[in-house]
């Protein structure tokens, strides 16, 4: 026979049995988890009924006669996002240069620095907000610091990567003309990464404007605070109004920032 030396194919039967067992085990585990978490059809139906009631209560949306205060809170949220992002960019830009392998050529430093950024990047903005609201008291200040601190690690990493991807030609040109490391950054790297930095910062501003509402709910002021107050007293018509207003504001900021970013590209 031609293929008598070939490895014999294993019988398909044991594999099939194993797969059947795994599937059954998976289903059993899933059911056990649902029971443990209290996910029952009864609870599901009850929850959706309540949601339906809330939804009905949202119509028609109403400003509850508090429009000036809502608008002021919306502006406060925008201000928080702006201040938080600006603070983050101011800190992340120099950190980005420190973290770029092509600027600081010490492998050990680079490794530790990047791991440190990764570590802090793992902390969600909500956790920072809880910590800073506890430290600085209720109000936007804690929120601004939380947004900034949450953004610094990931922005620094993005900046560092943009810097590493720069064309080395201008750097060498500056060095050969007698420029120092700082001159290389100033004249060769900074002009190349500035548009990328600006574009990424705008993107973070958009995302922070969206996140800032959540921060209000944990006590950091702004539109989130207004929302939280009304959800607590079941004023769903006003909740609906604020959410709609907020959606329009987010869309406006997004399109403005997108236009700015494409102008920078």
For residues 232 and 224, what is the distance between their CA atoms, to the nearest angstrom?
A: 12
Out of 73, 77, 156, 174, point to the residue binding other proteins (CB under 8 A). Answer: 174
Residue 94 binds other proteins (CB under 8 A): no
To other proteins, the closest distance from the beta carbon of 160 in angstroms equals 18
Is 183 a binding residue for other proteins by CB under 8 A? The answer is yes
Q: From the list 16, 31, 191, 244, which residue makes contact with other proteins (rule: CB under 8 A)?
A: 191
**Spatial distance between the Cα atoms of 211 and 197, rounded to a whole number of angstroms:** 20
Give yes or no for a cis peptide into 245 (omega within 30° of 0). no
Verify binding: residue 118, other proteins, rule CB under 8 A.
no
106 forms part of the interface with other proteins (CB under 8 A): no
Say if residues 74 and 227 touch (Cβ distance below 8 Å). no
Query: Looking at 172-180, 202-210, 211-219, 247-255, which segment touches other proteins (CB under 8 A)?
Result: 172-180
Asked if 192 is part of the footprint of other proteins (rule: CB under 8 A), the reply reads yes
**CA 139 → CA 8, 76, 132, 168, 257, distances in Å?**
72, 10, 10, 46, 27
Among 9, 108, 176, 233, binds other proteins (CB under 8 A): 176
Q: How many residues touch other proteins (CB under 8 A)?
A: 21
Task: Check residue 101 for interaction with other proteins (CB under 8 A).
Answer: no
Please select the residue that binds other proteins; options are 187, 207, 228, 235, rule is CB under 8 A.
Answer: 187
Nearer to other proteins by Cβ, of 69 and 186: the residue is 186
- CB-facing half-sphere around the CA of 68: CA atoms within 13 A: 0
Q: Give the CA angle between residues 236, 242, 244 to the nearest 5°.
A: 100
* Cα(125)–Cα(116) distance, integer angstroms: 17
Please report whether residue 20 would count as binding other proteins according to CB under 8 A.
no
Applying CB under 8 A, which of residues 67, 194, 256, 263 lies at the interface with other proteins? 194
Minimum distance of other proteins from residue 236's CB (angstroms): 52
Of 187 and 203, nearer to other proteins (C-beta) is: 187
Give me the least distance between CB of 165 and other proteins, in Å please. Answer: 12
Q: Does 182 bind other proteins (CB under 8 A)?
A: yes
Work out whether 162 is an interface residue with other proteins (CB under 8 A). Answer: no
Is the CB of 52 or the CB of 191 nearer to other proteins? Answer: 191
Positions touching other proteins (CB under 8 A) are 168-170, 172-180, 182-183, 186-188, 191-192, 194-195
């Amino acid at each position: 026979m031609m293929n008598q030396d070939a490895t014999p194919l294993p019988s398909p039967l044991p594999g099939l049995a194993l797969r059947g067992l795994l599937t059954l085990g998976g289903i059993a585990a899933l059911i056990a988890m649902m029971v443990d978490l209290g996910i029952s059809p009864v609870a599901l139906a009850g929850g959706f009924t309540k949601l339906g009631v809330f939804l009905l209560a949202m119509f028609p949306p109403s400003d509850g006669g508090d429009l000036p205060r809502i608008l002021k809170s919306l502006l406060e949220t925008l201000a928080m996002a702006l201040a938080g992002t600006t603070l983050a960019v101011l800190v992340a830009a120099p950190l980005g240069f420190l973290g770029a392998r092509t600027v600081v050529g010490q492998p050990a430093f680079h490794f530790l620095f990047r791991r440190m950024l990764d570590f802090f990047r793992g902390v969600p903005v909500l956790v920072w907000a809880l910590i800073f609201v506890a430290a600085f008291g209720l109000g936007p200040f804690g929120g601004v610091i939380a947004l900034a601190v949450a953004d610094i690690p990931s922005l620094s990493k993005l900046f560092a990567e943009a810097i590493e991807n720069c064309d080395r030609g201008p750097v060498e040109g500056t060095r050969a003309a007698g420029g120092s490391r700082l001159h290389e950054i100033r004249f060769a790297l900074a002009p190349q990464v500035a548009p990328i930095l600006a574009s990424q910062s705008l993107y973070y501003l958009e995302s922070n404007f969206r996140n800032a509402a959540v921060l209000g709910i944990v006590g950091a002021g702004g539109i989130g605070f207004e929302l939280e107050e009304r959800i607590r007293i079941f004023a769903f018509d006003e909740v609906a109004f604020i959410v709609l207003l907020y959606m329009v504001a987010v869309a406006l900021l997004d399109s403005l920032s997108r236009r700015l970013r494409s102008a920078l590209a």
